[in-house]
Structures are given as C-alpha cells and as structure tokens.
Structure 1
Amino acid sequence: MRYQRLSTGDQYRLIAVDDGTAFDLTAVKPRLDSFGDLAAAADIAGVGVDELASEIADEAPTVSPDSLSDGTLPVVPEEVWAAGVTYEISEEAREEESGMPEMYLHAYEADRPEIFFKATPSRTVGPGEAVGIRADSTWDVPEPELGIVLYDGSIVGYTIGNDMSSREIEGENPLYLPQAKMYERCCSIGPCVTSAEEIGDPHELTMSMEISRDGEVLYDDETSIGNMARSCEELVEHWRDHDVVPELGVLLTGTSLVPDDGFTLQPDDEVRIEIDEIGELSNPVIEV
C-alpha cells in the first residue's frame, strides 16, 4: 500500500491507497492520523503496516485520489539522515568539486559509509512546496534519492527524498558539509510512503530526475537503485550502530543523478523526481 497524509484545514487524515482506491483510515480510527501512528500500532500488534491498514480499510470510506493535494508531508520524521558517495558517479562528482579528492574515493571504498545528519521537520518540505538554494552559494544542485522510512530502527517503508546541496560550499572545504547540506528548505520528501511489503527489493527500482526552467527541460536522466555500491540494509545498520536513532526517521541513500558541472539551480526552476512504486516528487525552487 501507499500512504499519504491529507490536510483538511483543521486536522490531518491518514489515507491508504490500494490498487487506485484511497481509504480514509482516520475516519475509522480518529487517533490514527499519521503514518507514524500506523507504524506504532502495527508494531504493538506485531503485524505489518499493510496488514493492519487492510483491516481498517474494510470499514473505511473512500476519498477521491484528486483530494490528495500537494504540500503535505506523507511522513513527519523526527530526523532525516543521509548517506553519501554510495554511487560511483557521486564519488566522481565530489572528487571534481573538492580540493581533497582522495577523501571521497576512500569513503566510497571503505567499510564505513558516509552518513550525516540532514534535516529536522522544520527544514523539510512536502510535494509542491519550494525547496531552497542558499543565497551565499553560486553552485547548487538537487540530489534525488530513495528514502528509507524506519520505525524503531526497522524498515517499514520507502519514500522519495531531495537532498538539496551547495556544491560550492562543500567543495571549498569538506568541513563545511553541514552548511552545504543543512539549511532552510534543504530537504523534500514525498509524495507518499510505500510499504516495505509492497516494494519488496528496493534495489530493483528505477529512479529518474527532470529539471525544467521556463518550460524547457534542462536535465533528464534515470538510473537503477541497483547501481548503489551498498545495500539499504547496510546503510541502516551503520546508521543505528552506536547511536540512538529516532522512533520515526528517514535515511536518504545517495544519488547517481548528477547534473553537469556547469549547471546550477535558479529560483523558479522545477525539480521532478520519480521512483517506481512510489510516484513523483515535484518541487519549485526559491532562494533562501
């Protein structure tokens, strides 16, 4: 199943979409108004999120899929983390931007992956909301990534993430990574959470990204998640090791879709990211 969160103005409603039919789970269970609530209830019951949602959906009214408007985060993670240099092209791109290229090759080949803190809920936007480029940077790019949704450290679903990045700031000095990665509107997530049961093997998924400006497509490419040098399970294991992970979190898994060095985002650009079985995450760009 796919899960989205519908805003009705005064409250949120958890919607489960199964074979094109959208079920209002909150109408049956009023206290169940987020994917996090569903994951917690499923964990207590000892069942998967889809099994619990199916039981509730049997009594739930349906809503029009058209009512699932943009702007609402499908999941509100306590923390968003991200993995870097997990694809060969990403490692090569970061070598080119940096004065210390050997460090990225080492991270790509090492047993320990690069994992860093990315965003809080206040820095994260949903589908249709604007992502930000820093006003003090002249080289900014989106990074489309598969997002792993975890509840209590276990994989319960997948979403799409956009890890907005200043290549100029990071390239100037790797110690500037937090400023290059973490700022206002630095991350988007959506359009839904697709359950781990529905996805099966995430490494079989295809991911694509399109960037347009004034109606003209400037970038359009796709890749396979299977090209990742590390598995989702490996990245999750390293994130959890020796750390206190949030009850509900998202881990972005890196990208291999990197625009040419001469490209930088501008305000009013549109970034569209699509992953099989999850959908399309689309965001305009503003300067922050």
Structure 2
Amino acid sequence: MRYYALARPERRVLVARDGDDIFDLPSANPDVEGYFDLVRAARITNQSVERVARGLLDEAEEVAPEELTGRLGRPAVPEEVWAAGVTYRISEKAREAESGMPDVYVDVYERERPELFFKATGSRTVGPGDAVGVREDSAWNVPEPELGIVLHRGDIVGYTIGNDVSSRSIEGTNPLYLPQAKVYERCCSIGPCITPPGTVGDPHDLGMAMTIERDGEVVYDEATSTSEMVVTCEELVSYYTRHNVVPETAVLLTGTALVPDEDFTLRRGDEVRIEIEGIGVLENSVTVV
C-alpha cells in the first residue's frame, strides 16, 4: 500500500491506496490522523504498518480515485528534514563546478563519512502541487530530485520523494554559506505519498526521472537510478543517528544524480516533475521567496 494525505477543506485525511482501491483510514479510527500514527500503533502492537492499516480497511470508507488527482497534502510533516550530499558521481562533479574550492567535494566523495546537513523544519516544506521557492538573492537555483527516507525515532519506516531546492550561487561563493543555500522558506518539497519498505522493494535500485517545463516547453528531461549511489540508505541513517538526539519524526534525503547544466536556473512559474519507481510522482511549481 501507499499512503497519501488528502487536503480537504475541513481536515487532512490519511488515505491508503491498495491497488485501485483507496480507503479513508480516519473514518475507521479517528485516532489515525497521519502516517506516523500508523507507525506508533505498529510499534505498540509489534506489527507491521501494513498489517495495522489492513485491520482498518473493513470499516474504512472508500475514496473516489479522482480525489488523488486533486489537492494532496504532505504525506507527513516531519520535525526535521536532513539531506546527504555528494552521494552520486554527477553530484560531486556539479558541486566542483559551482565552487571555487572543488577539492572539498572530491574529498567527501572518496571518504567513508558522508556529507550530511540540516535541510528544513516541517514549516519550511511544501507538498504536492504547492510551489517550491528559490531565493531572490540567488542568481543560480536548481531543483535536486532525491529519494527520501522516512524515519521514526531513527528507524526506517518508509520512503518518499524529496526536492532539495538549492541556491548554487550562494554555496558556490563559499562552502560555509551552505546553510543559507539550503535552508529558507519553501526550500523543500515532500510527497506525493509514503511507501513502506516492504512495498518499495530495493531502495538502491529504483528508476528516477525529472522533467522541468517552462512556458509549456520541456527544458530538462533526464533519468537515472538510485543504483548509482555510492552509499546505502542504511549507512546514511547510521551517520545521521550517531551521537545525535534525533526527533521522533524525520526525513533524510539521499542526494541527487540529476543535475541541470551550469547555464540553467529555475524561474518563477517553472513546473518540476520528479518520478521515482515504486513511489510515484511529485510535482511542484516554482516561486520566488
């Protein structure tokens, strides 16, 4: 199953999609307001998330399929979003190109310890169909499509799609400006759903694609695979949780392998479409913040 949040006027509704069937889980139990409520119930009862959800289906109201083509909310609002960098060769090359200090990125790519950095609080994230932001004081801004690891108390409980929007001109000036290049209003999108580990399959062998449209024309269209990562999801989580007081809920983005050419920058009104096999499609427009 995959888990979505419908953005209804009166409330956010957690729904489970099982093939062609879609179920309103709070209609069966109002205490199940979000995906992490399922995770907590699974931990308490020593069951899988899937088994807990299936126990609600007989009493849950069915949802019309067209509702999933309408307004979706964030499938989870994590307390923290972190991200990894230089986990793909192309990312390392792109970071070298943008920086006057390229050696720092080569050093990270070739070492055991990954680059991890704080990306966003929940309030800085947006969901499917909403607008991601680019900084007004940055001349070079790019989307970064990434597999997102959904964590509960440091344990992997699912996967999602993330867009780690980045201000390359700011980071390229000096690597110490990384927080300003990464952390700002609308700097990250998450969605469209959460797929549990048992459903997504091998997270290290998923097709990933990104398309960017501008004024109705495709200006970027490339694809890759998470098999190109030089570290595993488990290794990234291990470094994230080491000597760290992690929040109850978090998303850890795993780095990007799709990087537009150096002469490309996002503009207001662009449409970014990211697809990851086994999860779905995350679509966002672009605004300036």
TM-score scaled by structure 1?
Answer: 0.98
Q: Which residue of 1 aligns with 2:50?
A: 50
Deviations 1:189-213 (A, max 9, x none): 0000011110121111100000110
Residue aligned with 1:217, SS? strand
Take 1:231 and 1:39, find their aligned partners in 2: how far apart are those partners?
A: 23
- Residue 206 of structure 1 aligns to which amino acid in structure 2? G
Contact 2:214-2:270 within 8 A present in 1 as well = yes
Distance 1:101 1:143 in 2: 19
Structural mapping, 1:102-251, within 5 Å: 102-251=103-252
Q: Give the corresponding residue for 2:33.
A: 33
CA-to-aligned-CA distance 1:95-125 (integer Å, 9 cap, x gap): 1111110100111111110000000111100
The Cα RMSD (Å) is 0.8
Contact 1:71-1:129 at 8 Å conserved across structures: no
Give the Cα–Cα distance (whole angstroms) in 1 for the partners of residues 274 and 166 of structure 2: 15
Alignment check: 8 A CA contact 1:71 1:125 kept: no
Secondary structure class of the residue paired with 2:171: helix
Q: Match of 2:204, SS?
A: helix
**Cα shift readout 1:225-259 (whole Å, capped 9, x = no counterpart):** 01000000000010000001111110000001000
Query: TM-score with structure 2 length normalisation?
Result: 0.98
2:255 is the counterpart of 1:254? yes
Where in structure 2 are there 5+ consecutive unaligned residues? Answer: none
| Residue ranges of structure 1 left out of the alignment (5+ in a row) | none
Q: Is the 8 A contact 1:70 1:129 kept in 2?
A: no
Structure 1 equivalent of residue 19 of structure 2: 19
Please state whether the residue corresponding to 1:208 is helix, strand or coil. Answer: strand
- The one-letter code sitting in structure 1 at the alignment partner of 2:254 is T
Q: Output the CA distance in 2 between the equivalents of 1:6 and 1:213.
A: 27
- Whether the 8 Å contact between 1:160 and 1:281 is mirrored in structure 2 is yes
Give the C-alpha shift of residue 7 in structure 1: 2.6
Between the two proteins, what is the percent identity of the paired residues? 60
Give the paired residue count. 288
CA contact (8 A) 1:219 1:259 kept: yes
Q: Is the 8 A contact 1:270 1:282 kept in 2?
A: yes
